[in-house]
Chain A
Amino acid sequence: MLITILVVRFTAAQWRWMPLLLASFFFYSLTGIEAFVLLLGSILFTYYNAQKIAESVNMTKRYRWLLVSVCGQILILGVFKYLGFFNGLMQGVNALLHRGPWNDWELLILPLGISFYTFQSMGYVFDVYYKIRKPEMHLGKYALFVSFFPQIQSGPIGRSKEMMPQWSNIATPHFEDYRWAIQLFVWGLLKKFVVADRLGNYVDEVYAGAGSMGTWVWLFALALYTVQLYADFSAYSDMAIASAKMLGIRLPENFDFPYKAANITDFWRRWHLSLSGWLRDYIYTPLLFSKKKWKKWAVVYAIGITFVICGIWHGANMTFVWFGVVQAAILIFELFTKEWRARQSERFGKVYHGLSVLVTFWVISFCFILFRAEDMQQVMVVLKDLMHTDFVSFSNYIAEKNASRILGVLALVVLFLGLNERWDLRLRQTKWNSRQSIWAVSGMLVLLVIMGVFGKNDFIYFQF
């Protein structure tokens, strides 16, 4: 990484795409040669399709080339990511129809970041189709757009209109940029190792004991997991944004303090912004306007399909399909109660808003059971456990864990949620001088060394 930063810094702006592409290919090839070949195939496939779309004057032809591209990419995703899911589905169907056992199709490798780079290149093809941008004629720069190493593994998913123009004249990072990036990178490390992985220890233990826990232990674990997931994924995003900044590239932001959301609609405007924006622009809006005569039902239709896709995108598991279905159901409920809720908000003001934020936090915490559980069986076990409202298992849990540790972890959550926004904004919109920056970074590093939980987990979103 350091070598790449130095090489990029001392290369002329118009040639910087070259060391960046080489570094991106080098890092990606370390994940396996098959995965690298697939990435190259995906780049060439979408590059060619976008050219064909742009060349076609006739709308039907344009649409056909779009279909070829989208179907081809879905096929690649299906073969490499969803074959196991398909095997499971077919076993269920065969059992239901009393047929013989399903002979599983052999699973292939799961290429790193395939969901992310597929969506990124698919978005580019959509942009060319909708004439939002012209196709990129330079294959090297297009390859860099798909494979840029700080973001290929877990995003943020870049958009062609923001990313492509940057490759032709990559900005020279200045001292201020490095300072900004180092602050953000260290903040990411702190969120990952002090907050996310520490909370993750508690969450993992509770999930490992599913079937023998009661309501209160689960409520504790569900709340911790929501904070863990946010800290973990926002940490990764911040580190990706910071790494790109040191290379002269601006990546899109991925979060807008989602725990402040006052309803689930609002939550999706604050959570994983690069994915929700992608889904909104390329799935939801075209679906919505294709059925605009249905009025409100067009929204129901578009939300339903978009969120099932959103669920499936996250992983090859029925838990994610249900996650999408539940999100869609809640969003549709919010659509039909929008005016009623607006009236309550006017009537009760801040009290209503505060309660809404609290309710939203718990609703999303319950939805994340589907995100965290290994399968639907475990989801059912957790839901059953949640019905056991006795305090015995909770007091046993506290005794086992030690009350002061539980209080400590709760204090960490409160402190993180309480200070996160102020600290995050200060780091991002820094008006600090060098000395203040050094103090801030040193302070974060000291906290990291003293309180960090190391050697535990990868980032959660690496699995997607």
Chain B
Amino acid sequence: MSNEELTARVDGVFRKVFKNEGISVHRETTAKDIAGWDSITHLDIISGMEEEFGVEITGFEVMNMNDVGDLYDLLTQKLEA
């Protein structure tokens, strides 16, 4: 999967969770940058990613995520495995 496709599909999940078609995330985006990104929406984002990409993300992996860049890397790693 190309980087462009990955970022577009990640954006799609964010738009669905936040019900906002204008949202676009990048590698440096963190929870502080999007209003309403709390632990509950975080759970929806992770579940949304699992559904979208057909992968499983563990609690351990979630604890290591600091920004969207970490999410991209994790998804890339899981999709390549």
CB-defined contacts of B59 to chain A, threshold 8 Å: 285-286, 288-290, 292
A130 touches B63 (CB 8 A): yes
Q: How far is the CB of A123 from chain B (nearest CB, A)?
A: 12
How many angstroms between the C-alpha atoms of A296 and B59 in the bound complex? 16
Map CB proximity to A onto B53-66 as digits: 1 under 8 Å, 0 otherwise.
Answer: 00000111011100
What 1/0 mask marks residues of chain B from 16 to 43 whose CB sits below 8 Å from any chain A CB? 0000000000000000000000111001
CA distance A296 to B60 in the complex (A): 20
B64→A292 contact, CB < 8 A: no
- CA A288 – CA B41 in complex, angstroms? 12
Indicate if A132 sits at the interface (CB-CB under 8 A).
yes
Task: Judge whether B64 and A285 touch: CB under 8 Å.
Answer: no
Q: Nearest Cβ in chain A — how far from B69, in angstroms?
A: 16
Query: Known contacts A130-B60, A285-B59; is A292 also within 8 Å of B46 by CB?
Result: yes
Determine chain A's interface SS by DSSP, over half rule: helix
CA A132 to CA B38, docked complex, whole Å: 21
Instruction: Judge whether A288 and B63 touch: CB under 8 Å.
Output: no
Majority DSSP secondary structure for residues of B touching A: helix
Cα–Cα, bound, A296→B64 (Å): 23
Whether a CB of chain B sits under 8 angstroms from the CB of A28 is no
Using CB atoms, name the residue of chain A closest to B62: A289
Closest chain B residue, CB of each to CB of A282: B63
Residue numbers in B under 8 Å from A299 (CB-CB):
39-40, 43
Please, how many residues of chain B have a CB less than 8 angstroms from a CB on the other chain? Answer: 12
Flag if A289 contacts B58 (CB, 8 Å): yes
Contact of B43 among A130, A132, A292 (CB under 8 A): A292
Give the docked Cα–Cα distance between A335 and B12 (Å): 25
- Closest B residue to A338 using CB positions: B40
Determine the chain B residues whose CB is within 8 A of the CB of A288 once the complex forms. 39, 43, 59
- Taking the complex as formed, is A284 at the interface, i.e. its CB lies under 8 A from any CB of chain B? yes
> CB distance A298 to B43 under 8 Å?
yes
Q: Tell yes or no: B47 within 8 A of A by CB.
A: yes
Given contacts A299-B39, A335-B40, contact A285 B47 (CB under 8 A): no
Q: Does A131 contact B (CB under 8 A)?
A: yes
Distance in angstroms between the alpha carbons of A335 and B62 in the assembled complex: 22
Identify which of A132, A265, A295 contacts B63 (C-beta below 8 A). Answer: A132
A residues with CB within 8 A of B: 130-132, 265, 280-281, 284-286, 288-290, 292, 295-296, 298-299, 335, 338
Of the A-B pairs whose beta carbons lie under 8 Å apart in the complex, a sample of 7, sorted by A's number, is A130-B63, A132-B63, A284-B39, A286-B59, A289-B59, A292-B59, A299-B40
Shortest 3 CB-CB distances between A and B: which pairs? A289-B59, A130-B63, A289-B62
